[in-house]
Amino acid sequence: MDIRLDPLSDIPIFIQLHDGIVWSISRGETAPGTRLDSVRSVAADLDINPATVKKSYDLLRSEGIITTGHRSGSVVLSPERPVPGAEERLAAELRALMARARCQGIDGSTIRALVESELDTD
């Protein structure tokens, strides 16, 4: 998994790492059942604090994207069935994102075009 972090970005490093992992999974580069590298290994590879990696992994776990066990490590879950509550959380996130976009001067048609463009990449 090739994840690039931008230390100068306004986006926190743990979110950049989280999003990189999510993108890798959604594109099929990281398959369900794949064991993610250990927190310490990722931290060393990316030259970041292990607590930052743990925060990313904790977020992925809370979203139902990975599971973590003491012996098995962190493993990508299969998206065969929806995670309970995921649709409601996604709807809330989308509403907040659209509100923020409107506050920044992005109109509804542009938001719609962006969403459709992303859906077309599937």
Q: Determine the pLDDT at residue 71.
A: 86
Distance between CA atoms of 59 and 13, rounded to whole angstroms?
13
Query: In this predicted model, what pLDDT tens digit does every residue of 88-107 receive, in sequence order?
Result: 888 999 999 999 999 999 99
Confidence class for position 122, pLDDT limits 50, 70, 90: low
Q: Which helix (H) or strand (E) holds 87?
A: helix 86-103
In this predicted model, which residue has the larger pLDDT, 83 or 50?
50
Establish how many alpha carbons lie within 13 A of residue 116's alpha carbon, considering only the half-sphere containing its beta carbon: 6
Q: Determine the pLDDT at residue 104.
A: 96
Distance between CA atoms of 41 and 46, rounded to whole angstroms?
9
Query: In this predicted model, what pLDDT tens digit does every residue of 11-22 receive, in sequence order?
Result: 999 999 999 999
Query: What is the three-class DSSP state of 53?
Result: helix
Tokens found for residue 103: 């506050």
Q: Determine the pLDDT at residue 42.
A: 97
Chain-wide mean pLDDT for the chain?
A: 92
What domains appear along the chain, each with residue ranges and CATH number? Answer: 13-76 (1.10.10.10), 86-120 (no CATH)
At residue 66, φ and ψ (nearest 5 deg) are -130, 165
